[in-house]
Structure 1
């Protein structure tokens, strides 16, 4: 499958999180501990929001993240308060730039780990449900991109959790009509530049790994000598496929069939259930 990281908080250098932790996302691209595959070298992508720009910047490439000089250069100079990073292990679709995450539409970014089971059989029905005005924006051949544009079709702009629930419900209904017992496996991150939503769900209720960081003030109280925590704001939050370092009290597993909202003020963790589109 894949490994990903989503960050929200005070602006940080992307490289501080992509490269410096002992089990950073770059390390996970070679040595994943909790994924289906150990190596995630079928492309990578980063997306970030900058000041005074409504739409995010997105960089994607088909090579492995661990030896990409351009990624290291960008990560050492770009600061952002909200960014995504993704390393890909293909589930069967081509290794090409348009299949790398994150995906972008207007102010929205999306990335995914998981799969739609028997996607080649379901692809036509799912793709044709995408709003005709959006269809030309489907550039690649992945299930992840189709899921994104289904969510946009089902009202992502108005109600992000509801749109993702309707997307999941539509995929499950199409799959089960085709005789697929467990059609959907997903951990998803989606952001609009102000808020970040993350989802953990699968039809079999055995979803891929996903963790969120504890409040910075509580971790700082446990580890007052840890220098990296001193400059972080209390609003800082990370959601990751795998913990970036072993530190007691830092990481919490996202519960099965749930979603989180990272936003100014109080974050939320709520149950998630697909609904009929």
Structure 2
């Protein structure tokens, strides 16, 4: 958790060095659904976060610090987002989101729209992915959602149409992907340790050769046995 706090005020590889528009943590314990802790304060100023990180033990967790790309700094807009057993966090943006927000929301079916508590593009992308079969096809469902959002952005002239680095999990596996409609995909790395695997936006130690960069246009699937590399086929979503 020290690295999360450090990156919130001194990120080296992200678009902005300061990520002070809130933070969030999702962790999986004995229950199927994750526990979520979020706040709009910067991660470095929250004493409760330090206490939680010191005491909680979890087999799998997601953690995120936020730099808003235009939507309000509210607790509901902080990542990770969760529905049932699934949690999701995202770095990046959908181009011209303010012009396509209504159309993007229209892609979320009524059964899932009740989970739309914030107004970010990231939350919309997550709910669309759930509607596209994320539960049974975790990578394909996300790819179809990204493709739908990218087409809407392109039609509205939003540039760059899509920048996407994200992690999502059902509590048993973690999926992550890196993609952009231009050549500037947000960074994504992973590393295997003796006691687990970390997926990060930037390495949190000086052993840089130990970290593997996820290539643009690639997804990874992390299980207890290791990391699988998967391609991203944006053609999965028909025009």
Whether TM-score is above 0.5 comes out as yes
Match of 2:214 in 1: 254
Match of 1:225 in 2: none
Is 1:70 equivalent to 2:48 in the alignment?
Answer: yes
Q: What is the alpha-carbon distance in structure 2 between the residues aligned to residue 36 and residue 172 of structure 1?
A: 20
Q: Where in structure 2 are there 5+ consecutive unaligned residues? A: none
Is 1:41 equivalent to 2:41 in the alignment?
Answer: no
SS of structure 2 residue aligned to 1:28: helix
How far 1:173 sits from its partner (Å)? 1.4
How far 1:265 sits from its partner (Å)? 2.4
Q: What is the alpha-carbon distance in structure 1 between the residues aligned to residue 65 and residue 138 of structure 2?
A: 24
Q: How does 1:130-209 map to 2 (within 5 A)?
A: 130-209=108-187
Match of 1:107 in 2: 85
Q: What is the alpha-carbon distance in structure 2 between the residues aligned to residue 210 and residue 200 of structure 1?
A: 7
Q: What is the alpha-carbon distance in structure 1 between the residues aligned to residue 175 and residue 41 of structure 2?
A: 28
Q: What is the alpha-carbon distance in structure 1 between the residues aligned to residue 55 and residue 226 of structure 2?
A: 30
How far 1:267 sits from its partner (Å)? 2.1
CA contact (8 A) 2:16 2:67 kept: yes
Per-residue CA deviations over 1:6-64 (Å, capped at 9, x if unaligned) read: xxxxxxxxxxxx11xxxx1211111111111111010000000002x110000000000
Moved more, 106-115 or 261-270: 261-270
CA contact (8 A) 1:184 1:203 kept: yes
CA contact (8 A) 1:205 1:257 kept: no
How far 1:158 sits from its partner (Å)? 1.0
Match of 2:237 in 1: 276
Q: TM-score of the superposition, structure 2-length normalised? A: 0.96
Alignment: residue pair count: 237
Moved more, 191-200 or 29-38: 29-38
Q: What is the alpha-carbon distance in structure 2 between the residues aligned to residue 84 and residue 135 of structure 1?
A: 23
Per-residue CA deviations over 1:82-132 (Å, capped at 9, x if unaligned) read: 001100000010000000000000000000000011101011111011011
CA contact (8 A) 2:96 2:156 kept: no
SS of structure 2 residue aligned to 1:237: strand
Q: What is the alpha-carbon distance in structure 2 between the residues aligned to residue 245 and residue 32 of structure 1?
A: 12
How far 1:179 sits from its partner (Å)? 2.5
Match of 1:94 in 2: 72
Q: What is the alpha-carbon distance in structure 1 between the residues aligned to residue 107 and residue 16 of structure 2?
A: 31
Match of 1:31 in 2: 10
Q: TM-score of the superposition, structure 1-length normalised? A: 0.83
How far 1:183 sits from its partner (Å)? 1.1
How far 1:252 sits from its partner (Å)? 1.2
Is 1:82 equivalent to 2:60 in the alignment?
Answer: yes
CA contact (8 A) 1:197 1:260 kept: yes
Q: What is the alpha-carbon distance in structure 2 between the residues aligned to residue 181 and residue 209 of structure 1?
A: 19
Q: Which has the higher contact order (CA 8 A, sep 6+)?
A: 1
Larger radius of gyration: 1
Q: Over the residues paired in the alignment, what is the CA RMSD in angstroms?
A: 1.2
